[in-house]
Amino acid sequence: MVAQMADTLLKIRELKIDGRSDETWTPIVKGIDLDLCKGEVLGLIGESGAGKSTVGLAAMGFARDGCRISGGSVEFDGVDLVKASASIKRSFLGRRIAYVAQSAAASFNPAHRLINQHTEAPVHHGVMSRSESEADGIELYRKLRLPHPEEIGFRYPHQVSGGQLQRAMTAMAMSCRPDLIIFDEPTTALDVTTQIEVLASIRKIVEEFNTAAIYITHDLAVVAQMADRIKVLLRGEEVEEADTREMLSNPKEDYTKSLWAVRSFERAPKPAIQTSAVPIVAIKNVTAAYGKEAVLHDISFDMHAGRTVAVVGESGSGKSTVARCITGLLPPIQGQVEFDGVALPRDYRKRDKSQLRQIQMIYQMADTALNPRKTIGELIGRPVQFYLGLSGGDRRRRVEKLLEEIELDPAQYYNRLPSELSGGQKQRIGIARALAAEPKFIICDEVTSALDQLVAEGILKLLARLQDELNLTYMFITHDLATVRSIADDVVVMKEGRVVEKGYKEEMFRPPHHPYTDLLLSSVPEMDPDWLTNLLSDRGVDNIGGAAVDKMENESSD
Amino acid sequence: MKILMVLILAFGCILAGGWIFRFLGRKVSGNKPYFRDMGLGVAFGYVFAALALAWLLWAYAQSHSNDPITANKFFFLGKAVEGFLLFSFAAWVFRFFGRKIGTSTSKRIFRSMPLTASFGVLTILVYAVVSIFAGWLAPYGQEEILSSANIVPGGNPNIGGSPEFPLGTDQIGRDILSRLIYGAQNTVGIAFATTCLAFFLGGTLGFLAATLQGWVDQFLSRGVDVLMAIPSLIFALLLMTIASAWAGSEQSLLTYYMIVIIAVIDSTRVFRLSRAVGLNIVVMDYIEAAKLRGEGLAYLIFREILPNAYAPLLAEFGLRFCFVFLTIASLSFLGVGIQPPMADWGTMVRDLAQFINFAAFAPQVASAPLLAAGAIALLTVAVNFVVDWMLQKTSGLKE
């Protein structure tokens, strides 16, 4: 690595980028320097809005619509991409610089087969002939450990899974053997078990072809596995930059330290449940189906007063469907949901107001959960009026009190629209709306997964405080085990519509586990930069992630 | 064959001109990115546009030539150029004052407004004022038959005009200017009422179908499909014939029948749109949250869904208004719409239509039917400009 230092591939100096909003240009990147050598991986981290992706795109000499590069230089292999002509840029992009986007599903053209999209760039740039590129693509698919490499390229994007698509996109980026690949949050939308496979294959292929890479992410544990060096950005400015190990063991700036400290939040354990206690919500032998497709098979578990039950599992495991059964949006075909020992009607339309009031929900995407045309006062005021019958001044006072509880200033926020709030503030409004009904039980559906880590931590602390003050019961649906570790009391692990394991949190994080729980836990990246290397050498590439899940299924069916 | 050769030659010349233009541009500007990255197609476009503009200037000069035959040949083109410049200037002035006068909100709206939209807004305002105050503005009554018929528009006594009637009179001696002004009241007013009714019907049913789904949706949607399967103008004609038999001697009732008939036919289009928009909104989490709260149907439709559908519905309102307006004009042109003696632009075009034959040698005479047609076209264009701008604004906000 040190020997290569002289061989600089990408040199960004004093890069300034403006974005257009409200008829004026405002700076979003304020003078960033960046050096990247051949074969080196640089991690760019920061919260949303820090300018990570904008810098990543600018490394290709490109600015999004509504943005412009207003100053500085981006020198790639001696050519300044900011000043270069369109034809020179065209000859670089795809061939020497490639880009892997966050959502492969949105980036592939759904109307063409994978391999046809794969061969497009090499044929266009005259690197390979079509048949050579096809053969090379199959070879890359094999290297990236995609199942059936011979035939997977001949499928359409919707016929392969998200993790496989992300790997196919990495293969596509590799198709011309570029010198530089920009990875823009390639694993953010994936499950942990899928993420680990994608990470392992990206790392392998980048090392094998000695490709330089910029790895953009907000997940510190992920970047620790991937990058040689880490650069931390905050509001368009560099906070600090250092080698990965140095950065992890000895961060200098306060902001970096606070990022590192996020994962340390953990609540004190609660006393064990008394055996005689009546659970607030009891799910008894629930089976549910969408049409004829059964998605929940005979699920049973209890949730007790004042406790947080985390329901974990991959996407498609039926976590959210359980929530839909409890709320009555999806009436179960068998079994029932009991509230405080009394069976609830299966369909929400048959429940009365007081039953509806007791079960509230907080959604993952605050953007879609809050009506964008209503002010904060109306949003929170409606349940207050609807359930408690308050109106006029009483209603306003109650809303203001709720706003104070979620730590927002009523005078400032009462008349605002959701679009005038940040992501974390919107989520707080979602919480206030749930609290306005004065419920006993709240379902939190992935409430923190769309938020930055610092903001997410604030939300978790708020929820924890509210639980202690109001003796609420939470059902916490999540795929993020770090969240489970920090807030949960009890854990339920789900897989393919079945409960695999349930119990107290302390027990769940201590072996022996069910093999699936073990796999989930082992797939969560840790801050240790050697974690992935160790895991791979411990278990072998065939025993991690999705491959291991497949294996488990084969064994159980044998 | 010869024409083909000329076309190919012209194309080649323009292409060569484009190449030279780009080459010179690069030299003169010192290889600025704009000229450096310019495609040959763009350069071709510039040269072609320059040539077209040059021809237009030449043709405009011809329309003011002293030789009356040449001048007549380019009469309409000259008027079009003058009208275009006049309207652009008026729109610019309107926007200029809009940016200076008013509250900060209205100033901001004017600042982001393109010239086309400001033209549209100005035109709509003028139409609105004219139609509301028609009784005061019109110099004569809409049914008033004056002493002299067939006075040529333009007010020039040398060619048969009269300063008393700046836009001339029709065959039975009614003042065209007054009839145009009253026509604005009748046609635009009726079109507005019809569009509102169409939106009330189509919007309510569309949101209902989107919210309830299931068999209600099936029933309403298939019903709408049946109505839409019949060509709308023919269907309207058919129903109007039935209605006129119904109305019997009460001819004034016919206008109300027409409003209902056109509203029902057009509400099918509104139904489709509001159902589609509604379906996108009902899957949102906030609708789910409202349902779980136990809210009723009326609250869901009017308080949760409707506020989020304003932008597409408003844009559709503008377009739908144009179509309704054109349908009324067509029906009147065919003789079953707004009944004489009420002034109406469609009827006016039909009544004066034969004058169009004079276009080659007496363009002033031929412009009589074009005045009403122009009034229709101007409003349609204006509304479309405003709708375009609003659509762009709303879609821009979403990004």
Assess whether A489 and A405 both reside in one domain. yes
Contact A363 B295 (CB under 8 A): no
- Give the span between the Cα atoms of A57 and A49, in whole angstroms: 14
* Per-residue pLDDT at A555: 62
Q: How many domains does chain A have?
A: 2
Q: Do the domain assignments include residue B388?
A: yes
Alpha carbon of B323: minimum distance to chain A alpha carbons (Å) = 30
Q: Kindly report the CA angle at B87 between B83 and B91, in degrees rounded to 5?
A: 175
Is A271 a member of any domain?
A: no
Cα–Cα distances in angstroms (integers) from residue B151 to residues A100, A531, B141, in the given order: 73, 95, 17
Q: Which of A361, A365, A382 sits opposite B292 (nearest CB)?
A: A361
Residue A361 belongs to a domain with what CATH number?
Answer: 3.40.50.300
For B257-296, write each residue's pLDDT tens digit.
889 999 999 999 999 999 999 999 998 889 989 988 888 8
Query: What is the per-residue burial (b if ≥16 Cβ within 10 Å, else e) of A524-551?
Result: bbbeebebbeebbeeeebeebbbbbbee
pLDDT of residue A1: 41
Task: Give the residue on B whose Cα is nearest the Cα of A24.
Answer: B112
Domain final residue pick, B17, B33, B63: B63
Residue A59 counted as domain residue? yes
Pick A371's closest partner by Cβ from B111, B286, B292: B286
pLDDT score of A547: 66
> How close is the nearest chain A Cα to the Cα of B50, in Å?
26
Last residue of a domain, one of B63, B78, B97: B63
Which residue, of B38, B63, B88, is where some domain finishes?
B63
Residue B107 lies in a domain: no
Instruction: Say whether both B196 and B48 belong to one domain.
Output: no
Q: Which of B111, B289, B310 is nearest residue A361 as measured by Cβ atoms?
A: B289
Question: Does the residue B289 lie in any domain?
Answer: yes
The pLDDT of residue A207 is 84
- Quote the DSSP letter at residue A258: H
Task: Compare CB distances from A23 to B111, B284, B293 and report the shortest one's residue.
Answer: B111
Q: Is pLDDT above 90 for B224?
A: yes
Range(s) of the domain holding residue A140: 3-262
Answer whether residue B171 is part of any domain. Answer: no
Q: Are both B180 and B56 inside the same structural domain?
A: no
Report pLDDT for A262: 64
List pLDDT tens digits, range B348-394. Answer: 888 888 888 887 777 888 888 888 888 888 988 998 898 888 877 76
Tell whether the model's pLDDT for residue B214 goes beyond 70.
Answer: yes
**Interface contact A212, partner B, CB < 8 A:** no
Q: Examine residue B284 and state whether it is found in any structural domain, yes or no.
A: yes
| Rounded Cα–Cα distance for residues A359 and A325 (Å) | 12
ipTM over 0.95: no
Judged by CB atoms closer than 8 Å, whether chains meet at A372 and B308 is answered as yes
How close A373 comes to chain B (CA, Å)?
Answer: 6
C-alpha–C-alpha distance, residues A84 and A413, integer Å: 47
Contact of A86 with chain B, judged by CB distance below 8 Å, is answered with yes
Residues of A in contact with B295 (CB under 8 A): 386
Stretch 305-324 of chain B: residues touching chain A, C-beta under 8 Å? 307-308, 310
DSSP string, A46-88: --TTSSHHHHHHHTTT---TTEEEEEEEEEETTEETTTS-HHH
**Residues B220, B368 within the same domain:** yes
Summarised one tens digit per residue, pLDDT across range B130-182 is: 988 888 888 887 777 777 777 777 777 777 777 777 787 777 778 888 888 88
Mean pLDDT of chain B: 86
Q: Classify residue A291: in a domain, yes or no.
A: no
**Does residue A198 form part of some domain?**
yes
Domain assignment present for residue B69? The answer is no
What domain range includes position B42?
2-63
What is residue A556's predicted lDDT score, i.e. its pLDDT? 58
Give the pLDDT score at A4. Answer: 45
Report d(CA B7, CA B16) in Å as an integer: 14
- Select from A87, A351, A369 the Cβ nearest to the Cβ of B289: A369
Is the pLDDT confidence value at B199 over 50? Answer: yes
Crossing angle of the two packed helices B176-183 and B345-352, in degrees rounded to 10: 150
B112 touches chain A (CB under 8 A): yes
**A325 and A221 within one domain:** no
Within an 8 Å CB–CB cutoff, is residue A24 touching chain B?
no
Chain A residues in contact with B294 (beta carbon < 8 A): 348, 351, 353, 356, 386
CB contact under 8 A, B293 and A382: yes
Cβ of residue A68 closer than 8 Å to a chain B Cβ: no
What is the structure's pLDDT at A264? Answer: 66
* Residues A361, A486 share a domain: yes
Considering only alpha carbons, which residue of chain A is nearest residue B295?
A386
Q: Do A383 and B293 touch (CB under 8 A)?
A: yes
A399 with A481, same domain?
yes
Question: How many structural domains is chain B composed of?
Answer: 2
Output the domain CATH number for residue B373: 1.10.3720.10
For residue A90, the chain B residue with the least C-alpha distance is B37
Model confidence over B53-106: pLDDT tens digits? Answer: 999 999 999 888 888 888 888 888 888 899 999 999 999 999 988 888 878 888
Name every residue whose Cβ is closer than 8 Å to that of residue A128 and which is 6 or more positions away in sequence.
A119, A122, A136
pLDDT tens-place values along chain A, 558 residues long: 444 445 788 888 888 888 877 667 888 888 888 888 888 888 888 877 778 888 888 888 888 777 888 888 888 887 888 888 888 888 888 888 888 887 777 888 888 888 888 888 888 888 888 888 888 888 888 877 777 888 888 888 888 777 788 888 888 888 888 888 888 888 777 777 778 877 888 888 888 888 888 888 887 888 888 888 888 888 888 888 888 888 777 777 778 777 777 666 777 777 777 777 788 888 888 888 887 888 888 888 888 888 889 898 877 788 888 888 999 888 888 888 888 888 888 888 888 888 899 999 998 888 888 988 888 998 999 999 998 888 888 899 999 999 988 888 888 888 888 888 888 888 889 999 998 988 989 999 888 877 777 788 888 888 888 888 888 899 988 877 778 888 888 888 888 888 888 888 777 777 777 777 777 777 777 777 777 777 777 776 666 666 666 666 666 555
The 3 state secondary structure assigned to chain B is CHHHHHHHHHHHHHHHHHHHHHHHHHHHHCCCHHHHCCCHHHHHHHHHHHHHHHHHHHHHHHHCCCCHHHHHHCHHHHHHHHHHHHHHHHHHHHHHHHHHCCCHHHHHHHHCCCHHHHHHHHHHHHHHHHHHCHHHHCCCCCCCCCCCCCCCCCCCHHHCCECCECCCECCCCCEHHHHHHHHHHHHHHHHHHHHHHHHHHHHHHHHHHHHHCHHHHHHHHHHHHHHHHCCHHHHHHHHHHHHHHHHCCCCCHHHHHHHHHHHHHHHHHHHHHHHHHHHHHHCCHHHHHHHHHCCCHHHHHHHHHHHHHHHHHHHHHHHHHHHHHHHHHHHHHHCCCCCCCCCCHHHHHHHHHHHHHHCCCCHHHHHHHHHHHHHHHHHHHHHHHHHHHHHHHHHHHHC
Judgement on whether residues A240 and A381 belong to the same structural domain of the protein: no
Same domain, A363 and A449: yes
Q: Which residues of B touch A354 (CB under 8 A)?
A: none
Closest residue in A to B308 (Cα–Cα): A373
A322 and A246 inside one domain: no
Mark whether A233 and A362 lie in a shared domain. Answer: no
pLDDT for the residue numbered A543: 67
* In chain B, residues 19-78 whose CB comes closer than 8 Å to chain A: 33, 36-37
Q: Is B109 on the interface with A (CB under 8 A)?
A: no
Position A557 in a domain: no
Size of interface A-B (CB pairs under 8 A): 52
Query: Which A residues in the span 422-441 are in contact with B, Cβ-Cβ below 8 Å?
Result: 433, 437
Q: How high is the pLDDT of residue B205?
A: 93
Statement to judge: residues A219 and A309 lie in one domain: no
Contact B112 A23 (CB under 8 A): yes
